[in-house]
A and B are shown apart, each in its own frame.
Chain A
Amino acid sequence: MAGLTMSRPGLGRGVVLLVAGLYFVVPIVCAFAFSVGIGSPGQQVGLDAYTGIGAAEGLADSLALTLKVAAATVALVLGVLVPALLAVRLAAPRLRTAVQAVCLLPLVVPAVALGAGITTLLRWGADRYYGTPLFEGLVALQDPDFPVILVLAFAVMALPLAYSTLDAGLSALDLRVLVEAARSCGSSWPRTLVHVVLPNLRGALLNAAFLTLALVLGEYAVAALLGYQPFAVWTVVISGSEAQMSVAVSIVGLLGTWALLMVIAAAGRTKRLKEAS
């Protein structure tokens, strides 16, 4: 809209952005204030909430659980998606709509509904297969130290987002040409995939991994329904007794996510800039 010289929208635009900025910044500022004790009558101002995070009860366990599950989820999501997307583009283009439909299907099942289905399934399975080896398998699935069931659930929930990211990344590549060029240079299929395709997908893979990680870190519904205490659930549990600390933890989490996001975006951008020049 450059050509038409209009001076007034500059003002309107500034006002809009200012008001919006306020709405989004104020809760974070207030949350921070709350966590250090400003604004609450009868509270001492101090950074106790933050310094106490390290020593908080149950934090280490819940973080460990969350990170373990997150790593496994990322591995599962990428391990399932990458072969499928590569196969669709290189070998079976007709399956493209089917794969897209399957990957976007989880959008239709809200987290709570998924959690409800899983809980019921596990209970029913426990009832029906009690005493059989399958029962042992189900128990192992729900092992509190490493609940595979959570990994499965989170991977399903992360699928649509990871799919969009990887698909966009693959669209930007001329995959077929790349592979044919590598193959004509005498590279075998496995080597082509590892040394040619994957490095070019690095940005998209990182993005997808990061979005999955963010999802796992923030996921509450399914984990709570299944009775586990990863990070998000833990913050709710602790909020009863340590309100300030739970807010402090939330802020740290938010800022950390933001920082990580900017880093990844910047890394992706500078890489592209370098290639373009």
Chain B
Amino acid sequence: MKIKMKIIIIIVIVLFTSLVGFSQTTNTEYKKRVLETAEVDILTSFYSQDGDNAAVTGGIGTEKLTDIATNFTISIPLNDDDVFTVDATISAYTSASSSNLNPFDANGSSIIYYDNGKNESDKSSGNNGNPIAATSGASSTVVSNNTLSSGGASPWYESTGASKSDVWVNGTFNYSHSSDNRNTILDADASFAKEFDYTSIGVGGGVTKLFNEKNTEIGLKANVYLDNWSPVYPTEIHSYLTANQNLNNGFFSGVDILNQSGNIIDKNGTNVWSPINTTLVDNNARNTYSLSVSFFQILSKKTQVSLFFDLVQQNGWLSNPMQRVYFADRANYYIGNASSIPNYTSPTNTNVFQLADDIERLPNSRLKLPIGIRFNQYINEFVTLRTYYRYYYDDWGIQSSTAEIELPVKISEKFTLYPSYRYYTQTAADYFAPYEQHISTEKFYTSDYDLSKFNSNQIGVGFSYTDIFAKSHIWKLGLKSIDVKYNSYKRNTRFKAGIISAGFKFVMD
């Protein structure tokens, strides 16, 4: 709360100072419009990733995910000084690891096949056959009855549960005002975002001051995001709690649970599976307060540099309630095929799933301090050098460095080639440990490999087409530029990703 108050006080001071600056402006010279005409930007991308360390399944399992996203940005000049911008994004993904929030769904990993060639989904349409097998991925397991204990859930295969896919939508509205001499810019924004288990509302404001014949620029921006979880949990934990912690009720009724040896346990005995905590998310809020300072400096006719510093404080439920954790000092229990238990951590496991010990638990506060510097050099009429370095620190024990270089090469008047390279490295969070390496006495724990120690290399290539006269038209919109870029991303683990994006910029006639 103290930080929140400080941020609010800073915003008020900055805005007041800026307004005083405006009242003292008496420049009556001709002023150029901040934005000559309305602009429309359309950006679309396709992203794909894969890896072996899914956080939803406790640090092992497929990370296969695809995402298609599109963004529209419309900037409208309201008058000489004011610009209103609407930014809308829709992003649709399918995720194998998220699908395993409920790996036991009857129509996915545990499809029951019948001897008449039909499967479980055909039951309501006159399926009179006898069950013969349950499958998961490429394999099948002979079963004797239509129960989950016969099913083939696995962290290595995608389920077809509701969490398999989702759509994230985001809208941001921004209003900016420039002073008559264009040396002061005020802006305010409001944003909204929604996905199936998460909602966000954000507001922000900033001021930018230009000095030294517009050779120096200092910006200050503050944002507050008031986010909210609608938590969803691993199905076995949620079901256990809704069944009043009775393994003979609800989801678990009629389902066999196996121990590490593959033997069916006595659910009424003393050695039975249970999650370590019966309290899940007790605070749905997740708030982010950020203060950003930027500094731009022209060094020469061909060189400029910028410096960025953010102070970010997050409070609330900062762990992801979907992500499982398995403890080394607790017995392991499974649902599925007993003979696959010895191969549980191998992608060859297609039909057994380990019941979680808990969801990940992380502190309810996180302070993040990134600082970045960008240095751009216009080398000649063909080549420009763009470089970026960021150092990051947070109080969860993570430090990271990011270095990036891009070398735009103008191959003709209208076409530019963009080769780029990015190197990233980070230390592990204090609370990270791989699958089955946490101890149940720890207060905080996660097996999310995004918080592990790793480094990554990203190579990109793209091109842009620019027509400053925007001669090509669609309706009243003149095409000003096209940007196409592909980036390949690889960690020093088996995680890899690729993203291709295409952007189109139009100006209104």
| A, B from the same assembly | no
- Residues of chain B at the chain A interface (Cβ within 8 Å): none
Interface residues of chain A, those whose CB is within 8 Å of chain B, are none
